[in-house]
Amino acid sequence: MKLVRYGEPGAERPGLIDARGNLRDLTDHVTDIAGGALARLGDLKRLSPDSLPLVPDTPRLGPCVGNVGKFICIGLNYADHAAESGMSPPPEPVIFAKFTSAICGPDDPIILPRGSEKTDWEVELAVVIGKPAKYVSEERAMEHVAGVCLANDVSERSFQTERQGQWSKGKSSDNFGPLGPWLVTLDEIADLNALPMWLDVNGERMQDGSTADMIYKVPFLVSYLSQFFTLRPGDVISTGTPAGVGMGMTPPRFLRAGDVVELGIEGLGRQKQLVVEDA
């Protein structure tokens, strides 16, 4: 299934995309694509999409999962990105948090925070937890995953690396966490470790990679994280980005108001974001 949330920010409704690409409403069957509903996806899979009401027009798509409890990110999880960052691949996953207030829809604008000098892009595969995971083995980790989606780990590098403290303040500005368009269940993905991924700025290809190049794969990451804290339904794990970010260029290149960012992962859809100044 391709599950979505559509409507105005804060008032999104649950839906799915049928085989013909039509948006169908799920309100009669689930209150939201969030929390406990993610543990009951089997009930939704038994529905006939053609029996669901068609949604007219083309409404805004919100983040494909609601009420996210934890937004966990994995740093330096592609060797080529670690190299362009001037760092060695880490001996264990680098973990940091992106505050949930950063989450927005896939085509909502990227908002440059006040004082921003080095806002950057990162196309990433994100994993959405479907049932609680605590001390799970790598072999059983995927039993706890509801699905995967496309994410852009927007990052303000001067906040992240040039000021005191940890990375989160450079990762968590408003609209720095676009998720979606779809939450795609695992039965729709032939090989999670072979998904082409890309990102363009103003039509110019910046990132051109594949999940095949991830250092730590999804089952390991879910198991690893569950050793430190319980993963709960709706938690999101963004798994890292390949080479091609702005800070790795010579000279570095960063986003400015008016830029357009487009990104995608095969089978997970695409996003398009206009860069704007904060009000």
CA dihedral for 255, 85, 147, 19, sign (positive or negative): positive
Q: Is residue 143 part of a domain?
A: yes
**Res 124: pLDDT:** 98
Q: Is residue 33 part of a domain?
A: no
Contact 171, 102 (CB under 8 A): yes
Strand 103-104 to 2-6 pairing: unpaired
* Total domains present in the chain: 1
Q: Is residue 31 part of a domain?
A: no
Q: Is residue 53 part of a domain?
A: no
Model-wide pTM > 0.75: yes
Mean local confidence (pLDDT), 223-245: 97
**Res 279: pLDDT:** 82
Q: How many residues does the chain have?
A: 279
Contact 98, 238 (CB under 8 A): yes
Phi then psi dihedrals of residue 62, to 5 deg: -90, -175
Instruction: Report d(CA 19, CA 204) in Å as an integer.
Output: 31
**Res 226: pLDDT:** 98
Contact 147, 3 (CB under 8 A): yes
Mean local confidence (pLDDT), 13-27: 97
pLDDT digits (tens, 9 = 90+) for 39-97: 889 899 999 999 999 999 999 999 999 999 999 999 989 988 878 877 778 899 999 99
Q: Is residue 3 part of a domain?
A: no
- Smallest CA-to-CA distance from 242 within 216, 276, 209, 202 is with 209
Q: Is residue 23 part of a domain?
A: no
Amino acid identity of residue 120, one-letter, is D
**Domain carrying residue 167:** 65-277
Amino acid identity of residue 105, one-letter, is G
Q: Is residue 39 part of a domain?
A: no
Q: Is residue 48 part of a domain?
A: no
Q: 77: domain CATH number?
A: 3.90.850.10
**Res 18: pLDDT:** 97
User: DSSP letter string over 194-221?
Assistant: --EEEEEETTEEEEEEEGGGBSS-HHHH
pLDDT digits (tens, 9 = 90+) for 136-159: 999 999 999 999 999 999 999 999
Mean local confidence (pLDDT), 108-137: 97
